[in-house]
Amino acid sequence: MTASISLRLDFEAGRIGPGKIELLERIAAHGSIAAAGRSLGMSYRRAWMLVDEMNRIFGRALVETAQGGRAGGGARLSALGTRVATHYRAAEAAALAASGAHLDALLAELGAPGECDRPV
Amino acid sequence: MTASISLRLDFEAGRIGPGKIELLERIAAHGSIAAAGRSLGMSYRRAWMLVDEMNRIFGRALVETAQGGRAGGGARLSALGTRVATHYRAAEAAALAASGAHLDALLAELGAPGECDRPV
């Protein structure tokens, strides 16, 4: 049995969780909001709205788009976007390491009948 | 500005996050699934389904219901239910303490323009 943990950060202006962070990482990898969204099974419109929401949360662009050109431009993370993804993953790793003993205790309860617990 | 963190645990049989844990805590406080759900603005059916989902994840009852009687019975956490809520809150506290420095770094980015970041 396995358990994973995911962090959800609630800021005053919005929420950031694993979905938005993975989108940032895919944009960095693919160089395009559309391709990043496709790789996650989401429409360009949906990917663009998530990027726009992050930009509004931080008040600045996390993703920079190149406009014009025959290929229709591309996209890459701004320095801010890179820092946000990096800090999020570091927070996630630290959280997982610190809570490991408690998660193990929860996992140990899965399907391990205790004397006071009746089956369902 | 503030940020809070919430843990979402993905087990093979389902997912546990702050909503289900808060429901358990309200059941312990109110002694009733219906009253606990009402206090969170959810229907009895919705509260009952969440409890049932948790019972299935763990393979045993987290909530014990007393049946019959004029008042229609009540509900309380089983020993397992109490342990699950306790471990979850302990994991949450440990995760928050461990990731604090990274969350502070994210908070510091909110509305603090950097030289390489253009406004949106």
pLDDT digits (tens, 9 = 90+) for B63-105: 998 875 555 569 999 999 999 999 999 999 998 899 888 888 8
| Interstrand relation of A3-11 and B63-65 (parallel, antiparallel or unpaired) | unpaired
Predicted confidence band at B61 (pLDDT cuts at 50, 70, 90)? very high
Partners of residue A1 in chain B, C-beta under 8 Å: 11-12
Give residue A77's pLDDT: 97
User: Which of A77-91, B56-70, B96-110 has the weakest average pLDDT?
Assistant: B56-70
- Per-residue pLDDT tens for A42-63? 999 999 999 999 999 999 999 9
Give residue B107's pLDDT: 85
pLDDT above 90 (res B28): yes
CA geometry: angle B46, B49, B50, nearest 5 deg:
90
Residue B101's φ and ψ, nearest 5 degrees, are: -65, -40
User: Cα separation of B8 and B48, whole Å?
Assistant: 20
Cβ <8 Å between A116 and B1: no
**Residue A103: which residues within 8 A CB-CB, separation 6 or more?**
A3, A5, A96, B9, B87, B91
Give residue A113's pLDDT: 55
Contact B2, A12 (CB under 8 A): yes
Average pLDDT, chain B: 86
Would you call A11 helix, strand, or coil by DSSP?
strand
Cβ <8 Å between B106 and A120: no
Give residue B115's pLDDT: 46
Query: Of A60, A80, A102, which has the smallest distance from its Cβ to B94's Cβ?
Result: A102
More confident residue, A31 or B117: A31
Contact A87, B106 (CB under 8 A): yes
Residue from A41, A13, A9, A37 nearest A24 by CA: A37
pLDDT above 80 (res A117): no
Pick among B96, B109, B116, B118 to test the A interface (most A CBs inside 10 A): B109
User: Quick one: angle between helices B18-30 and B79-109, nearest 10?
Assistant: 130
Nearest chain B alpha carbon to A62:
B117
pLDDT above 90 (res B39): yes
Nearest chain A alpha carbon to B5:
A9
What is the mean predicted confidence (pLDDT) over A58-85?
85
Residue recorded with tokens 């303490």: B97
Residue from B72, B71, B76 nearest B26 by CA: B76
pLDDT above 70 (res A110): yes
User: Quick one: angle between helices A18-30 and A79-109, nearest 10?
Assistant: 130
Give residue B119's pLDDT: 53
pLDDT above 90 (res A8): no
pLDDT above 60 (res B120): no
CA geometry: angle A106, A110, A116, nearest 5 deg:
95
Give residue B13's pLDDT: 80
Give residue B113's pLDDT: 55
Contact A102, B90 (CB under 8 A): yes
Q: How many CB atoms lie within 10 A of CB B81?
A: 25
